[in-house]
Structure 1
Amino acid sequence: MIKVYSPASIGNINVGFDTLGVSLSRIDGGILGDFITISNSKKFQLINTGLFYNDLPKNKYENIIFNCWIKFCDNIGKRIPVKIILEKNIPVASGLGSSACSIVACLKAINLFFDNPLNDLALIKLMGELEGFLSGKIHYDNIVPCLLGGMKLILIINKNNVIIQDLPIFKNWFWVIAYPGIKLSTFNSRKVLPKLYKKEILIKQNQYLAGFINAIYTKNEFLAAKLMKDFIAEPYRKLLIQNFDKISYTAKKLGALSYGISGSGPTIFSIFNNLNIAYNMVNWLKKNYLKNKTGFVHICKINNIGTKIMENK
């Protein structure tokens, strides 16, 4: 039996659309990720559990876990039945890398269960392919930090060559994440983006990304935070998030270093270097952003481990 845990993540981080991502852990030690358990079986079985299992398709053939098994078996050239238990603890379509959580945990566990027939790069490419199956476009900004932990810069060269760079990040940063309890699919969030951008916008975004990377390497946290701006997606996606400008104003007023949309939303994040101030933001968000009992607000730090093998026996 193999049991694997994969953590939640934030893609884009404002300044790095489809390029930057971070992996998260709650500072209170609570679960913020999905578990996959795989064992022998005479036929394929998929059991869904966890806080958000009701979000998953009832038909197993529509479940991304079933598709992970099919794609993996196609890659190794044989279809071997297994029993898979998915403990779904990240809400679907939340902007916290929910699909990446399940895909990464499942493929990591299956590969390990079959004695690692796929190398790391082949596994990452397969994960990206399955992520693209759900969102409409292959992107690795959730997949890679979810698998490897930390903050990652991911570049795709000629569609076949994935370059992964580990980036330093400020250890004193506290990441406040708030999921309101409503869904916003990545596919729909991508549809609101324009097909064409003005050259000036793209140049500006590139300048900010280059400046941000330089700032984190030179340990200039205030410059890094100042450069965490999104000129590509936020101007359009914020219209899908109720009171986004009011939330941003409040975060800034409370002392946030930076704030923005987590991935494609509706989860939002804000960054603080003072824990007491971060709790002030938590309290405000609980009163003003959550829509129902499934919503939550957590203070997180960067998860430097990524996907973790919990059991192997």
Structure 2
Amino acid sequence: MTVKTTAYAPASIGNVSLGFDVLGAALEPVNGDTLGDVVDVEQAEQFSLKVSGPFAHKLPADENTNIVTHCYEHFLEACVKFGHATHPVAMTLHKNLPIGSGLGSSASSIVAALHALNVHFGSPFDKDALLHMMGELEGQISGSVHYDNVAPCFLGGMTLMTGQSSPVTVSLPLQKDWYWAICYSGISVSTSAARDILPTQIGLGTALDFGRQLGVFVHALHSGDTTLAASVMQDVIAEPYRKSLLPGFDEARAFSMQNGALAFGISGSGPTVFAVCQSQQDAQIIADWLENNYKQNEDGFSHVCSIPAVGAQDKQG
């Protein structure tokens, strides 16, 4: 009997406002809903890829242009390079995350695909090796290698990128009493377009603010000072420019901050926004308001989430 390996990879928040390209967090709806892509891998006579799910129709019809196909090719090249045995597989991508949503959609597909392939082939690569592959594949889409979505998606929790080859990332303490109201508006914002709108240089004062905030945030998490941590969650790099791409952003921020949010920001490149709250009730009130006022079309949705300690998960059967 052919063993099928299935991997799930959760959505994620890139940047988390104050950590442009170096900070990320995984997301998990508190009501048990699935918020992430799933990839199946089975042994086959030749490679094939099927795509299903609510956002499958947004992907290119040609399987050769799908990022999951690129993951398979990249993984096999690595196996051959290091002398690991391979065979063709049939893969299925269940595309549950919207494209260009700011929820780490491409990262979720990449992580689920590479994690499923690694497990299916007997785990020939360790976590750092897989993270390097994931970053390289993400770079094919966004135009630059960065780990702020793939790392938390793969490992879970909130992750800080080291800028080193090993370890690629370190985990930060989780604030378990924080709830994250998130809302995807339904429109699409490409990562490359969101990067193009940014200035190529920033002033010394902005750089100092960025470094100070990130340092204080990491210290506050380790010392358990949630009030201090929330107080520095302000995006001085990207939000001043990117919010022009997000209809209703200023109104959403104003409502959230007036109704219990500790912080409010753009998830990744947007258009998804998030509000950090100290109670699930406050988070639900904000999520409901965003659903009714920030969402632009029927593709949009909102959730109250926590940050899971576990990222990608797999099973065989």
Report the TM-score when normalising by structure 1: 0.96
User: What secondary structure is seen at the aligned counterpart in 2 of 1:225?
Assistant: helix
Aligned partner of 2:132 in structure 1 is 125
Aligned partner of 2:205 in structure 1 is 200
Q: Distance in 1 between matches of 2:253 and 2:283?
A: 14
Aligned partner of 1:70 in structure 2 is 73
Residues 49 and 88, structure 1, Cα contact 8 Å, conserved in 2: yes
Aligned partner of 1:149 in structure 2 is 156
Amino acid at match of 1:168: P
Amino acid at match of 2:35: L
Amino acid at match of 2:120: F
Amino acid at match of 2:212: Q
User: What secondary structure is seen at the aligned counterpart in 2 of 1:139?
Assistant: coil
Aligned partner (choices 210, 235, 241) of residue 230 of structure 1: 235
Gaps of 5+ in 1: none
Aligned partner of 2:316 in structure 1 is 312
Shift of 1:79: 6.5
Aligned partner (choices 70, 77, 97) of residue 90 of structure 1: 97
Instruction: Give the ranges of 4+ consecutive aligned residues of structure 1 lying more than 2 Å apart after TM superposition.
Output: 160-163
Aligned partner of 2:63 in structure 1 is 60
Aligned partner (choices 169, 175, 178) of residue 173 of structure 1: 178
Aligned partner of 1:32 in structure 2 is 35
Shift of 1:156: 1.4
Q: Distance in 1 between matches of 2:43 and 2:87?
A: 9
Q: Does 1:186 align with 2:191?
A: yes
Amino acid at match of 2:79: I
Q: How many residues align?
A: 310
Shift of 1:281: 0.8
Residues 181 and 291, structure 1, Cα contact 8 Å, conserved in 2: yes
User: What secondary structure is seen at the aligned counterpart in 2 of 1:258?
Assistant: strand
Aligned partner (choices 260, 263, 273) of residue 258 of structure 1: 263
Shift of 1:261: 0.1
Amino acid at match of 1:20: L
Identity across aligned pairs (percent)? 41
Shift of 1:112: 1.2
Aligned partner of 1:290 in structure 2 is 295
Q: Distance in 1 between matches of 2:168 and 2:295?
A: 37
Shift of 1:293: 1.2
Shift of 1:161: 4.2
Q: Distance in 2 between matches of 1:282 and 1:111?
A: 37
Shift of 1:243: 2.0
Residues 12 and 263, structure 1, Cα contact 8 Å, conserved in 2: yes
Gaps of 5+ in 2: none
1:265-304 to 2 correspondences below 5 Å: 265-304=270-309
Q: Report the more deviating stretch, 53-62 or 129-138.
A: 53-62
Amino acid at match of 1:43: Q
User: What secondary structure is seen at the aligned counterpart in 1 of 2:74?
Assistant: helix
Shift of 1:199: 1.4
Deviations 1:291-311 (A, max 9, x none): 1111100000111111011x2
Aligned partner (choices 79, 83, 105) of residue 112 of structure 2: 105
Aligned partner (choices 6, 9, 13) of residue 9 of structure 2: 6
Amino acid at match of 1:37: D
Shift of 1:255: 1.4
Shift of 1:282: 1.7
Q: Distance in 1 between matches of 2:17 and 2:225?
A: 18
Residues 7 and 307, structure 1, Cα contact 8 Å, conserved in 2: yes
Shift of 1:271: 0.8
Residues 70 and 79, structure 1, Cα contact 8 Å, conserved in 2: no
Residues 13 and 268, structure 2, Cα contact 8 Å, conserved in 1: yes
Q: Distance in 1 between matches of 2:168 and 2:89?
A: 32
Deviations 1:61-118 (A, max 9, x none): 1100010011111111276321001101111110001111000010011111111222
Q: Does 1:20 align with 2:45?
A: no
Residues 128 and 168, structure 2, Cα contact 8 Å, conserved in 1: no
Give the alignment's Cα RMSD to 1 decimal: 1.2
Shift of 1:24: 0.9
Amino acid at match of 1:11: G
Q: Report the more deviating stretch, 171-180 or 241-250.
A: 241-250
User: What secondary structure is seen at the aligned counterpart in 1 of 2:241?
Assistant: helix
1:239-258 to 2 correspondences below 5 Å: 239-258=244-263
Q: Distance in 1 between matches of 2:128 and 2:61?
A: 32
Residues 201 and 232, structure 1, Cα contact 8 Å, conserved in 2: yes
